[in-house]
Amino acid sequence: MNFLAHLHLARLANSSLLGNLMADFVRGNPRDVWPDNVAAGILLHRRVDVMTDALPEVRVARGFFRPETYRVSPIALDVIWDHFLSRHWDEIVPETALPDFLRQARAEIGPHLATTPERFQHLNRYLWTDRWMEKYAEAPYLQNVLTGMASRRPRLAALADCYQDFVDNYQQLDAVFRQFYPQMMAKARQQLL
């Protein structure tokens, strides 16, 4: 899961949006540093990542990647799941338009940014104003996202080539998302994540 899915599942689970969005920027035990609700959100994010990667459907999705991109496929899939969530948002969350959801999330997170890691603050300077999560709905935008991630971390250079796997297996990946994401939503609502 990437930014949008973590925010959405956090909302369904009544968890801290700040903690869930910031989790990848926090190392170690968050309970040592962050308020209880934020720490719980960070831990929820981590559990969601582990749970998602272990799903049989997601393991099948990894098989859609070529040998040269397979190693980075879990990272690419996180972005791909956000694409399908953004693309199908009106169907999945008919009660709240995506721009409204994101406005609410930003309003909740924004006041606390000054106390967060600098790298997370930097991300937030662009995440909201450039409307990344809305643009995820546009398949070609993922090419920019994956290429950008690859250029920032040479160890993940193969991410740039994952766009082709995404395009070549689009329908199958969409079907996988539609299989597992409703299950994740139900678990979030039931506080089972």
Reading the chain (193 residues) residue by residue, the pLDDT tens digits are 899 999 999 999 999 999 999 999 999 999 999 999 999 999 999 999 999 999 999 999 999 999 999 999 999 999 999 999 999 999 999 999 999 999 999 999 999 999 999 999 999 999 999 999 999 999 999 999 999 999 988 899 999 999 999 999 999 999 999 999 999 999 999 999 9
Q: Which domain holds residue 113?
A: 3-189
25, 159, 164, 80 alpha-carbon torsion, rounded to 10°: -10
> Residue 78, Cα to own-chain centre: how many angstroms?
6
User: What is the distance between the alpha carbons of residues 51 and 114, in angstroms, rounded to a whole number?
Assistant: 31
User: What is the distance between the alpha carbons of residues 66 and 10, in angstroms, rounded to a whole number?
Assistant: 32
Provide the number of structural domains found in the chain: 1
pLDDT of residue 84: 98
Place of tokens 């049989």: 56
User: What is the distance between the alpha carbons of residues 85 and 140, in angstroms, rounded to a whole number?
Assistant: 15
pLDDT of residue 173: 98
SS3 147: helix
User: What is the distance between the alpha carbons of residues 41 and 119, in angstroms, rounded to a whole number?
Assistant: 18
User: What is the distance between the alpha carbons of residues 44 and 7, in angstroms, rounded to a whole number?
Assistant: 11
